Amino acid sequence: MKDVPAMEFDPDLTISNTRRQFLTSAASGLGGLALAAALDGDGLLSANSASGASVGVNPLAPRAPHFAPRAKNCIFIFMEGAPSQADLFDPKPKLNELNGQKLPDSLVKNVRFAFLKKDTATILGTKRKFSKHGQCGMELSELIPHLGSVADDLLLVRSMHTDQFNHHPGQLLMQCGRASFGLPCMGSWLTYGLGSESQNLPGYIVLTAGRGSSGGASLWQSGFLPSVYSGVLFRNSGETVLNLQNPAGLPSPLQRKGLDVLAQVNRQRLEQMHDPEIANRIASYELAFRMQSAAPELIDLSGETQATQDLYGVDRKEPDLKAHRGGGPGQFRSFATNCLLARRMVERGVRFVNIIHASWDHHSNLDTELPFNSEMADQPIAALIKDLKQRGLLDETLVVWASEFGRTPLGENRGGSESVTGRDHHPYAFSIFMAGGGVRGGQVYGETDEIGWAPVKDPVHVNDFQATLLHLFGIDHLRLTHRFQGRDFRLTDVAGEVVEPWKL
């Protein structure tokens, strides 16, 4: 490195400093005005920034919420495809009693199904044993024993319901608050509202494992919000972020030198044009440079003790399942690694981590594939909760398990088939759980009827869940809005009520 001059770049020219510089620069005179245009009285970006009023302000600068938050970070584990609540979370003894019986016509008359044939469909019991866990006595299926060991930290919601029963629309509703395209996802709204606490990493990171999901990239889009609020896809091996590595044969010292020259020439242009966007560009290149070391460091697990890795089950033996869904080599390692990475991201200030795992759409082979998936997910998620707790991070980190909808208590008899090995889409009731982040653990919220068809107590719509999630972050879901095409949009569309009993 001796032949390359030492770093010339002014380390103070980080994003926030660039911003400060501009806001306080007497010459530019931008200061108060740009700040006022970007922040409204609540400390959040105002609704009129659609017109681009936030000139010269770092859009990811941390911002104060509406009121004191309980959660600062979220790890949202999205199980795409709809895991069967009747086999995991919501024990229904009646289901086994009625196994093989038809539902009365009056009950299914007006109900739509994706594949199931109403006239011959019969109730499908579960082979799973449920037992009580923790002090709270939460009943969970034998498929998720490790989650049972953290039952006292879990808020289990059995009365979720949604409006959509096709996957992609359902996923859009869960992620964006409404089954429409062009809307920001939950993670986008959170980073839009609160900014990012991380200096070296994006505020909203997506980790996927297994096969692709129905929604693809639309599940981490920023919609009408600027793309700076989009989820950034990280991989858990190889190149962490797209284009992160320098070209082969271009070493870091030359990258540094190149960026110094770039910044120098760009700054000269800035002096001529006085356009704050040039300063933003200089800052973006600096953040990119920092990410080049921060992101590989993030996924390098060599600093994690063997005990920690074992806790998450990174090296567990994976059952040999050659299923057409879900299976395939390396699923267990990949999922466990993602859970461990999520903790490392939260430690580094990442606001919203979305782990997406696609393959829970068990129209058939429920009894082989659900155990495979559950085993894959059970230990790492329980470990994540324990690990966050022992590090004192759980209080401020909300962990969520959710999907787009649930599965039918009826067996799926696609095409009138008599061989029933799975369940169909069921939007009327499903289960999700949460931990940490200001929710009261050891709690089961809501009830479904005797066969788990629909909530009979405390129904919670997806928008209610979203309102509550924002609330935990100190955000009033009615006030975090963005005007687009004349309308003030929000994550909860036109609905959403905070579910008070969930809170600590």
Partner 1 sequence: MAERMLQRVVSLSRWSPLAAMVVAVYSAVALHGMVFAQRVAAAEAVDFARDVAPIFAELCYQCHGPDKQESGLRLDQRAAVFKGGDTGPLFVAGSSKTSELVHRVSAADDERMPPPGPTSKALSAEQVARIAAWIDAGAPWPESVAGSSHWSFQPVARPEPPAVKDGGWARTPIDRFVLAPLEARGVAPSPEADRYTLIKRLSYDLIGLPPTLAEVDAFVGDIAPDAYERLVDRLLDSPHFGERWGRHWLDMARYADSDGYEKDNARPDAWRYRDWVIDAVNSDLPLDRFTIEQLAGDLVDGATPLTRLATAFHRQTLTNTEGGADQEQFRVEAIFDRVATTGSVWLGLTVGCAQCHTHKYDPISHEEYYRLFAFFNNADETDGDAPLAGEALVKWDAERAAAERKLRELTPKLEKTRAELAAGVPEWESELKGSGSAPLQFHPVELVAVESSAGAEFKQFSDGSYLVTGKTPEVDKYTITARSDLAEVTGFRIEVLAHPSLGGHGPGRTEHGNFVLSEFRAFAAPTREFKDDHRVKIAAAEADFSQGGFPPANAFDGKEPTGWAVGSQEGRDHAIVLMAKEPIRGEQTPWLQLVLSQNHGLKHTLGRFRVSAVTGRDPLFGLPKNVRDILAIKPEMRTAEQTIVLVDYRVSQDKQSRELADDIQKQRERLAARPEMRVRVLAERNDKRRASHILHRGDFLQPDAEVRPGTLAALPPLQPRGEAADRLDLARWLTDPRHPLTARVTVNHLWANLFGRGIVKTPGDFGVRGERPTHPELLDWLASELVARGWSRKAMIRLIVSSAAYRQSSAVRAELVEADPLNDWLHRQNRYRVEGEIVRDLSLSVAGLLSPKIGGPSVFPPLPPGIAELSYANNFKWKTSEGEDRYRRAMYTFFKRTAPHPTLTTFDCPDANTTCLERQTSNTPLQALTTLNNDAFVDAARALARRLLAAPVKDDQERLAQGLRWCIARPPSGDELAAFAGLLADSRRWYGEHGEEVKSLVDDGPSGGAAATGAAPAEVAAWTATARIMLNLDEFLTRE
Is the distance from CB of 377 to CB of 226 less than 8 angstroms? no
Is the distance from CB of 54 to CB of 38 less than 8 angstroms? yes
CB of 396 to partner 1, least distance (A): 25
Residue 291 or 398: the one with the smaller Cβ distance to partner 1 is 291
Choice from 18, 126, 188, 214 touching partner 1 (CB under 8 A): 214
CB of 380 to partner 1, least distance (A): 21
Choice from 70, 117, 281, 389 touching partner 1 (CB under 8 A): 281
Choice from 28, 308, 309, 368 touching partner 1 (CB under 8 A): 28
Residues 6+ away with beta carbon under 8 Å from 127: 87, 367
CA distance 288 to 296: 13
CB of 409 to partner 1, least distance (A): 11
Choice from 38, 39, 278, 491 touching partner 1 (CB under 8 A): 278
Specify the 3-state DSSP secondary structure of 330.
coil
Helix (H) or strand (E) holding 308: helix 306-312
Stretch that binds partner 1, among 87-95, 232-240, 337-345, 437-445 (CB under 8 A): 232-240
- Subset of 108-137 contacting partner 1 (CB under 8 A): 108-115
Residue 206 or 381: the one with the smaller Cβ distance to partner 1 is 206
CB of 469 to partner 1, least distance (A): 16
Choice from 264, 330, 440, 504 touching partner 1 (CB under 8 A): 264
- Subset of 354-413 contacting partner 1 (CB under 8 A): 358
Residue 489 or 502: the one with the smaller Cβ distance to partner 1 is 489
- Subset of 446-485 contacting partner 1 (CB under 8 A): 449, 453-456, 459, 461, 463-464, 476, 478-479, 481, 483, 485
Residue 440 or 457: the one with the smaller Cβ distance to partner 1 is 457
193: nearest Cα among 11, 66, 12: 66
Beta strand pairing call for 460-461 and 487-489? unpaired
Choice from 228, 345, 381, 435 touching partner 1 (CB under 8 A): 228
**How many other CB atoms are found less than 10 A from the CB of residue 429?**
29
Beta strand pairing call for 423-426 and 406-411? antiparallel
Burial code (b: 16+ CB inside 10 Å, e: under 16) for 260-283 equals beebeebeeebeeeeebebbbbbb
Query: Considering the rule CB under 8 A, would residue 101 count as an interface residue with partner 1?
Result: no
Count CA within 13 A, CB hemisphere, residue 228: 15
Burial code (b: 16+ CB inside 10 Å, e: under 16) for 68-107 equals ebbbbbbbbbbbbbbbbbbbbbbbbeebeebeeeebeeee
- Subset of 296-355 contacting partner 1 (CB under 8 A): none
Residue 227 DSSP symbol: G
Q: Is 200 exposed, middle or buried (0-12, 13-18, 19+ CB in 10 A)?
A: middle
- Token pair listed for 21: 């510089």
Residues 6+ away with beta carbon under 8 Å from 488: 47, 481, 482
Residue 138 or 341: the one with the smaller Cβ distance to partner 1 is 341
CB of 435 to partner 1, least distance (A): 24
- Token pair listed for 238: 């190889």
Burial code (b: 16+ CB inside 10 Å, e: under 16) for 203-236 equals bbbbbbbbbebbbeebbbbbbebbebbbbbbbbb
Choice from 13, 21, 35, 47 touching partner 1 (CB under 8 A): 47
CA distance 409 to 126: 9
CB of 301 to partner 1, least distance (A): 19
- Subset of 178-197 contacting partner 1 (CB under 8 A): 180-182
Number of residues that bind partner 1 (CB under 8 A): 127
Residue 347 or 449: the one with the smaller Cβ distance to partner 1 is 449
Choice from 24, 268, 293, 390 touching partner 1 (CB under 8 A): 268
- Subset of 430-449 contacting partner 1 (CB under 8 A): 449
CB of 482 to partner 1, least distance (A): 9
Stretch that binds partner 1, among 51-59, 299-307, 308-316, 341-349 (CB under 8 A): 51-59
Query: Considering the rule CB under 8 A, would residue 226 count as an interface residue with partner 1?
Result: yes
Residue 388 or 491: the one with the smaller Cβ distance to partner 1 is 491
Residue 24 or 246: the one with the smaller Cβ distance to partner 1 is 246
